[in-house]
A and B are shown apart, each in its own frame.
Chain A
Amino acid sequence: MSGRRDREARREERLLQERQAGAGERRQRMVKLASAGVFLALVVIGVLVVVSSGNSSGGDSDNIVEAKEVDKLLAGIPQKGMVLGTAGAKVAVLEFGDLQCPVCKGYSEEVLPQVIEDRVRSGAATLDFRNFTIIGPQSKPAGAAAIAAGEQGRGWNFVELFYRNQGTEDSGYADDEFLTAIATAAGVPDLARWNRERRSQAVIGRVEATSAEAEDLGFTGTPSFAVEGLGTGGVEPIGTPESVGALESAIEDAGK
């Protein structure tokens, strides 16, 4: 009896050792897998960070892009100061924007091109860009640079090109070098004059005046729009129309 009990005890002990050894091996395998998992996770995080950083592209004075697209968009449309379109159009659309504002960039790329094509090119409306500087300290000099470009008939080229090359919001990219690169690509003919004028108190004063005007109209963000035409009693704020259709509808109403 005692021999049988001993055999059974030894068998139980052997089975326990085998189970423990199996669990140990399995655990070791899983530790290796976990290490691979950590490595994989770090690689994925690295890729995500690199892709995210790529989002901040723009604001690069050595690589101004889409000058041709902007030229094509505005070709043949008269410009006077910051007003795009034929003088005497039935409706004036006032855009209050900040060149550093990413929402303005989106609006400029997604909504305005169609409106320019449908309403401005046809002579039905004019678009008047007015600075409403709310983003940061570089917004004012950037706005002054746009006005100075407008003095040489390239204001809208400057604005559109700035938006298409806009850098990360208020990150310091909109320095003299960037503004000069935009002015050059926008085709400002006399850069020396542009440099003088953009720094002049008169031009900076215009930036401040339109920002104050935007506040008087009750605007708190950019871009904000107003229309003026036969159907409005003066300048009528319309906020930020969400689509091409909404802005065009506001233009039509203002012209009636």
Chain B
Amino acid sequence: MRAPAEGVLRGIATFLATFGIGIATYIAIADSGGGSPVCIAGGHGCQTVAESSYSHLAGVNIAVFGIAGYVVLLVCALLRGDAFRMTAFVVSLIGFGYSLYLTYLELCTIDAICQWCVASAVVMTLLFVTNAVRMVAYVGTEL
């Protein structure tokens, strides 16, 4: 099967990374105000997850790391070349793997689902797929 044109993949990655920045920023702002994200579909899942010990890493809200990751992915999507193809792949793989772990924690340890966290996990998964296709199809080719 022929991969989509790299420009299309970069466009998709740009959109997804921007969307991810929005989600992570909302979670981080809600946390910095001493509160928690509001679950749009109702329920207390977002509050429970935000208040759990897993919502912070070394004292920093995980969403802040998410923003940093999405920004790197956005830059990589906007720029051409193998270095950016590779970086996007590695960063999105880290994001994807860690998102899987966090989703596992929500389901099996915290016993609550935060819709914003799930949305971010879905975005990161799509970014991983997009960047993996970009890397496999275009690394080593001309710009």
Query: Is there an interface contact between A55 and B56, defined as CB atoms closer than 8 Å?
Result: yes
Query: Is there an interface contact between B101 and A52, defined as CB atoms closer than 8 Å?
Result: yes
Query: Is there an interface contact between A23 and B140, defined as CB atoms closer than 8 Å?
Result: yes
Query: Is there an interface contact between B53 and A37, defined as CB atoms closer than 8 Å?
Result: no
Question: How many residues belonging to B are interface residues under a CB distance threshold of 8 Å?
Answer: 27
Any chain B CB within 8 A of the CB of A21?
no
Given contacts A23-B140, A171-B109, contact A102 B135 (CB under 8 A): no
Residues in A154-177 with C-beta less than 8 Å from chain B: 168-171
Given contacts A52-B54, A102-B53, contact A38 B93 (CB under 8 A): yes
- Contact string, A196-215, partner B, CB cutoff 8 A, digits 1/0? 00000000000000000000
* Cross-interface CB contact of A44 among B48, B94, B105, cutoff 8 Å: B94
Query: Is there an interface contact between A168 and B53, defined as CB atoms closer than 8 Å?
Result: yes
How many angstroms between the C-alpha atoms of A12 and B97 in the bound complex?
47
Given contacts A34-B86, A102-B52, A103-B51, contact A49 B111 (CB under 8 A): no
Query: Is there an interface contact between B98 and A45, defined as CB atoms closer than 8 Å?
Result: yes
Query: Is there an interface contact between A169 and B94, defined as CB atoms closer than 8 Å?
Result: no
Interface of A is mostly: helix
Any chain A CB within 8 A of the CB of B29?
no
Any chain A CB within 8 A of the CB of B90?
yes
Distance of B97 from chain A, by nearest CB (Å):
4
- Contact string, B71-95, partner A, CB cutoff 8 A, digits 1/0? 0000000000010001001110110
Stretch at the interface among A3-11, A25-33, A83-91, A115-123: A25-33
Given contacts A52-B57, A55-B53, A55-B56, contact A45 B135 (CB under 8 A): no
Chain A interface residue number, banded: 20 to 34
Interface of B is mostly: helix
Query: Is there an interface contact between B110 and A49, defined as CB atoms closer than 8 Å?
Result: no
Any chain A CB within 8 A of the CB of B42?
no
Given contacts A34-B135, A103-B51, contact A45 B94 (CB under 8 A): yes
Given contacts A30-B139, A37-B86, contact A55 B54 (CB under 8 A): yes
Any chain B CB within 8 A of the CB of A15?
no
Query: Is there an interface contact between B140 and A27, defined as CB atoms closer than 8 Å?
Result: yes
Distance of A107 from chain B, by nearest CB (Å):
11
Please give, as numbers and ranges, the residues of chain B lying within 8 Å of A101 by CB-CB distance: 51
Query: Is there an interface contact between B93 and A169, defined as CB atoms closer than 8 Å?
Result: no
Query: Is there an interface contact between A169 and B90, defined as CB atoms closer than 8 Å?
Result: no
* Cross-interface CB contact of A102 among B51, B97, B139, B140, cutoff 8 Å: B51
Any chain B CB within 8 A of the CB of A41?
yes
Distance of B54 from chain A, by nearest CB (Å):
6
- Contact string, A88-109, partner B, CB cutoff 8 A, digits 1/0? 0000000000000111000000
Interface residues of B (CB under 8 A from A): 34, 48, 51-54, 56-58, 82, 86, 89-91, 93-94, 97-98, 101, 105, 109-111, 135, 139-141
Q: Which 3 A-B pairs have the closest CB atoms?
A: A27-B140, A45-B97, A37-B90
Question: Known pairs A41-B90, A102-B51, A168-B109. 6 more at Cβ < 8 A?
Answer: A30-B82, A34-B89, A37-B89, A45-B101, A55-B56, A169-B48
Interface residues of A (CB under 8 A from B): 23, 26-31, 33-34, 37-38, 40-42, 44-45, 48-49, 51-52, 55-56, 58, 101-103, 168-171, 242
